[in-house]
């Protein structure tokens, strides 16, 4: 597969998902980029904006296995990873895989589970494997966690620790649809669209194609000047006086991986600063921690990232 074929497949996947999830093209693209870049996605948005639908449509389009985990305060780590139970016939313990053993895992309302349960995802997200009963078990490839969280509810929630946040490649914001888009959604439902029945979606690619696309993206050329630009952006988050904790080098690497996929999706075999800039907010917004004073002043992480993008010089020859 070359970059042109990559772009064609990417566009087909995007179109198919966007036909189901109306008016969320940027969200769909972010999800695809993160998947191909072997990253995980944190979706933040109010209930009822189609987050679950997006994940399911994505799984069907990519021909991958899909599991959904509803995070609750009493959810235990073993409810995610699975556990060994005694098989009376065999007279021995056998491992029953949990819902984490799927290629697309939707962790719904992830911030409702306690930190202990959330951390059960850490190993899976970082290493693509799960350790249970002293045995490490490999997760199927590709493996993508799509976690959702509600920004407006704080009671009974457990904020994700920074270490876990850093493991999400991107944090995508699910915005309310515009009036026209909402009208289209309602029209579709009026015409019989059933979000629980997505059988009409046929896979555009299979899991192996996704893996191959990841490999193609990794071959995309990145110039030193572009690397320098990525690093500059990330370093500026550490120097910003309104940011308590800046992004880690993992953010620079995330920028690199995402920008490569974006470049390949446009049929290029090289990354431009434009690719980096387009992915910067999704990659950096959950990796920076604002000063309390700045938060009290109503400053958001996106504001500071916008400012960084506005002031950081772009590498160019002339």
Partner 1 sequence: MKRRFLAPVLGPLALVAVLGTAAHSFAETPEESAAFAEAAAPFCSNPPKPLKDDQRNLCGYASQLPNCAAFQEACTQPIAAPPDLSWLAPLGVVARFVLYALAGVLVIGVFYIIFVAIRKVVNDRNPSETPAKSGVKVVPLVEDAAAPAPLPADGAVALLARADALLARADALLARGEAALALSHYLAASLRSLDEKGFLRIARSQTNGEYLRAIRDFEFRGAVAPMVRAVDRAEFGSVAASAEEVAAFGATARALVMSPRRAVTAPSPFAAALPAAALALLLLGCGGENKKQGSPSGSEYFQSLTSRQGLTVTPLSHPLAALPDPRSKDAAAVMLNAEETPLDDETDHALSAWVANGGHLLLSGHSSSWPKELAKAMAASKTSPLEVAADALAKTVGKKIPPPKTGEVPPHDTLLLDGRDLRLATGIADDEEEYEDEDESTRESGEPAEEASRIRGFTAYSYGSVRPGIPLVRRGDGKIAASLVSVGTGTVVTLDEADLFTNAALAYPRNPTIALTLLRVAAGKGTPSVAADGIVRYSTYRTIERARRHDGRQGASDPLSALLAAGLRLPLIHAAIFAAILFFAYGRRMGRAEPDRLDSRRAFAEHVEANGLLWAKRKFGPLALATWARFAEERLRARMPKSATDPAHYLALETGQDPTFIADIWKRATEQSPTERARGDEIAILKTLAPLLDRLDSAPRRTLS
Nearest to 132, CA basis, from 73, 67, 76: 76
d(CA 255, CA 170): 10
> What backbone phi and psi angles, to 5 degrees, belong to 87?
-95, 110
Query: Looking at 142-150, 170-178, 195-203, 268-276, which segment touches partner 1 (CB under 8 A)?
Result: 268-276
How far apart are CB 223 and partner 1 at their closest, in Å? Answer: 4
Phi, psi of 156 (to 5 degrees): 75, 20
Residue 260 C-beta: closest distance to partner 1, Å:
12
Please state the closest distance from residue 23 (CB atom) to partner 1, in A.
Answer: 20
Give residues with Cβ within 8 angstroms of 157, minimum separation 6. Answer: 111, 112, 149, 150
Residue closest to 262 by CA, chosen among 249, 280, 248: 280
Residue 10, classed as helix, strand or coil, is helix
Judged by CB under 8 A, does residue 180 bind partner 1? no
**Residues 201-230 close enough to bind partner 1 by CB under 8 A:** 221, 223-228
Question: Dihedral angle at the C-alpha atoms of 188, 191, 197, 203, nearest 10 degrees?
Answer: -60
Q: Is 257 in the site for partner 1 (CB under 8 A)?
A: no
Q: Binding to partner 1 by residue 313, rule CB under 8 A?
A: yes
Omega prior to 142 cis, within 30 of 0:
yes
Min CB(270)–partner 1 separation in Å: 3
Site for partner 1 in 228-247 (CB under 8 A): 228, 232, 239
CB of 132 to partner 1, least distance (A): 42
Phi, psi of 100 (to 5 degrees): -65, -20
Q: Which is nearer to partner 1, 40 or 277 (CB)?
A: 277
Q: How many positions of this chain bind partner 1 (CB under 8 A)?
A: 28
Residue with smaller CB distance to partner 1, 188 or 312: 312
In the complex, minimum distance from the CB of residue 274 to partner 1, in angstroms, rounded to a whole number: 3
Which positions lie near partner 1, rule CB under 8 A? 221, 223-228, 232, 239, 268-274, 277-278, 309-318
């Amino acid at each position: 597969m070359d970059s042109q074929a990559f772009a064609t497949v990417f566009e087909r996947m995007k179109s198919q998902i966007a036909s189901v999830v109306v008016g969320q093209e940027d969200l769909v693209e972010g999800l695809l980029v993160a998947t191909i870049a072997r990253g995980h996605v944190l979706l933040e948005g109010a209930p009822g904006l189609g987050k679950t639908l997006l994940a399911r449509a994505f799984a069907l389009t990519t021909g991958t296995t899909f599991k959904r985990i509803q995070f609750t305060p009493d959810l235990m780590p073993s409810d995610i990873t699975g556990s060994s139970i005694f098989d009376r016939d065999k007279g021995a313990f056998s491992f029953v895989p949990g819902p984490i053993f799927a290629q697309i895992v939707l962790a719904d309302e992830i911030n409702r589970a306690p930190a202990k349960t959330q951390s059960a995802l850490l190993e899976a997200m970082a290493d693509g494997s799960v350790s249970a009963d002293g045995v490490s078990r490999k997760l199927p490839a590709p493996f993508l966690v799509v976690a959702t969280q509600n920004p407006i509810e704080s009671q009974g929630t457990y904020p994700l620790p920074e270490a876990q946040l850093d493991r999400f490649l991107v944090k995508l914001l699910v915005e309310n649809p515009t009036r026209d888009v909402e009208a289209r959604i309602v029209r579709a439902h009026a015409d019989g669209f059933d979000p629980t029945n997505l059988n009409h979606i046929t896979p555009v690619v299979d899991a192996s194609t996704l893996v191959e696309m990841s490999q193609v993206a990794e071959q995309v050329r990145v110039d030193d000047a572009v690397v320098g630009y990525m690093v500059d952006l990330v370093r500026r988050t550490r120097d910003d006086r309104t940011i308590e904790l800046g992004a880690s080098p993992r953010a620079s690497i995330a920028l690199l991986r995402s920008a490569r996929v974006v470049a390949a999706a446009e049929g290029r075999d090289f990354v431009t600063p434009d690719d980096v800039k387009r992915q910067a907010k999704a990659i950096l917004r959950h990796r920076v921690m604002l000063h309390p004073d700045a938060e009290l002043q109503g400053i958001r992480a996106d504001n500071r990232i916008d400012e960084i993008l506005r002031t950081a010089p772009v590498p160019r020859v002339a």
